[in-house]
Structure 1
């Protein structure tokens, strides 16, 4: 913790200086990263490439080995990360896992070094608020920071980060966010970033679902797929699916966007529940949720989300 104390003093002294200088100051600070999977691994890699000292933990040994070869210190437990790093990033797959990592036995809450938790996961506002309250009782600050842009954006550093937290705390870690992509400050309360992220994901995945139905109908009616996408993108029907996912991952037949059906089901489910808790009925959201759930149950949740097109084709040619 001695090094962390020195760094904190230097950051306070440098608060009025340039972003470049603040990046240099933070480069020698010990950071932690828990959850180095599809999204976490490329984000952790970018931190290492920027010269940051990083201690990591995950249950996937291959991911640990890859980052260890790049200079990351591999911890044997969540507690070891929390006893080593004063700023910890988490990128975890579900609310239950996030809460266990943060508040469970030998979790982040028990760490002797950690003072800020930055959550990059998509876990919903209720889980975020519960963890924030539990950590606050131990003097640990939290920043709600879900990301959008997929694995490709994580690799390129072009993610959109939806940040909610105390302004003074956010300012301490903002230079690190800019390693990942573009920063949007959406509020000061834990859970506000989560809400916006879930709304974004619901819009994105619902657009992909209806585009899949339209695409299959057009092909079945004899339209050329390439021509169809070109016309739609020149007209009023264009959306994220027609502009990006179909041209890059469906039309070439690669189906490799990098986000599984199971994660879509989790995110859409959380989005619908949050909106309903706010009194919004969610007629279309519930329909999209049902479609994704059936597709995952029928053909497997580990498949890439872009393979929904194949599921819709199967339903249409019976």
Structure 2
């Protein structure tokens, strides 16, 4: 894969550091972006900026994408002047987006008609993992195609799982975010109950972290929420994973459950908290901040002065 021309579409919070890692690994990268920061950083790293996805496709052997939603995936690959119509037969699409399984399967079906392979490879690990190349990739693809592109994926992730055919990558990622998103709501409930009971929240954090109630969400979210409360209920200025995106992912889980006849009562309930948070202007904040909304609804004060004085 060393001589392949790599296209990248979707150089946002996750896509930008991923594209930069490919540049740093010596790959020839062409991309499109309207964001000045992305253009400046990638061109400084040696990448080539072009105006449209059409031009990315026409100049690339492998097109990578990291896009927010189904509509974006449709427009980029299947819409007018889309990637599939302008990519040479024999090329490969690697999609890192968290979208529905049905949409990536639709893209793959259209791509196959032009002899273009598709790798369904959503990622987990956040901006931190994208910057350091430690992402987890959940790959739905033909095994031979995965092995062909593995050197590229190894630049981006430290854990690469072949989870099945195209579409199953999305299923695995949706389930991962179902667990993460619902647990963040539970973290908010636990802190609210503790605060209203007069518990020392910092001490509670340490106790649970070493007990059976611990989780990645607890370890990651609680310090963020307590810091926000200490600073006057102010969210962090640079969100890692936006609350509106977690809402989108829980909606994907809810829709998949409906399609498969699988009841997802807790997921549906958690989704309502994210919807309420978005309606209160929190959409662009980090998903962990859903716990602030839970605390407000419980009339719970998460600030250190409240718990310390109990």
Task: Settle same-fold status: TM greater than 0.5.
Answer: yes
Structure 2 distance, partners of 1:222, 1:45, is 47
Deviates more, 1:236-245 or 1:93-102: 236-245
Could you say which residue in structure 2 is the equivalent of 1:184?
A: 161
Where structure 2 has 5 or more consecutive residues not aligned to the other structure, the ranges are 229-234, 301-310
Aligned length: 291
TM-score normalised to structure 1 length: 0.88
Q: Any idea what SS the aligned residue of 1:51 has?
A: coil
Match of residue 96, structure 1, among 63, 71, 95 = 71
Describe the superposition over 1:244-278 as per-residue Cα deviations: whole angstroms up to 9, x where unpaired. Answer: 2323x333436355111110110000011112211
Structure 2 distance, partners of 1:257, 1:224, is 26
Where structure 1 has 5 or more consecutive residues not aligned to the other structure, the ranges are 1-25
Could you say which residue in structure 2 is the equivalent of 1:160?
A: 136
Deviates more, 1:90-99 or 1:110-119: 110-119
| 8 Å Cα contact 1:257/1:306 also seen in 2 | no
| 8 Å Cα contact 2:254/2:267 also seen in 1 | yes
| 8 Å Cα contact 2:185/2:294 also seen in 1 | no
Describe the superposition over 1:171-198 as per-residue Cα deviations: whole angstroms up to 9, x where unpaired. Answer: 11111111111101100x2110000100
Q: Does 1:236 align with 2:224?
A: no
| 8 Å Cα contact 1:260/1:301 also seen in 2 | yes
Describe the superposition over 1:85-135 as per-residue Cα deviations: whole angstroms up to 9, x where unpaired. Answer: 110100001100111101111111122436100000001101111111111
Q: Does 1:79 align with 2:54?
A: yes
For 1:1-318, list aligned pairs within 5 A: 26-113=1-88, 115-181=91-157, 182-187=159-164, 189-247=165-223, 249-253=224-228, 255=236, 256-317=238-299
Structure 2 distance, partners of 1:116, 1:275, is 30
| 8 Å Cα contact 1:299/1:311 also seen in 2 | no
Q: Aligned-pair distance for 1:317?
A: 2.3
Q: Aligned-pair distance for 1:137?
A: 1.2
| 8 Å Cα contact 2:75/2:82 also seen in 1 | yes
Could you say which residue in structure 1 is the equivalent of 2:232?
A: none
Structure 2 distance, partners of 1:289, 1:70, is 39
Structure 1 distance, partners of 2:152, 2:170, is 19
Structure 1 distance, partners of 2:226, 2:77, is 41
Q: Any idea what SS the aligned residue of 1:183 has?
A: strand
Structure 2 distance, partners of 1:101, 1:149, is 24
Q: Any idea what SS the aligned residue of 1:251 has?
A: helix
RMSD, matched Cα: 1.5
Could you say which residue in structure 2 is the equivalent of 1:6?
A: none
Deviates more, 1:57-66 or 1:77-86: 57-66
The structure showing larger relative contact order (alpha-carbon pairs under 8 Å, at least 6 residues apart) is: 2
Q: Aligned-pair distance for 1:313?
A: 2.5
Q: Any idea what SS the aligned residue of 1:55 has?
A: strand
Structure 2 distance, partners of 1:29, 1:204, is 36
Structure 2 distance, partners of 1:179, 1:65, is 22
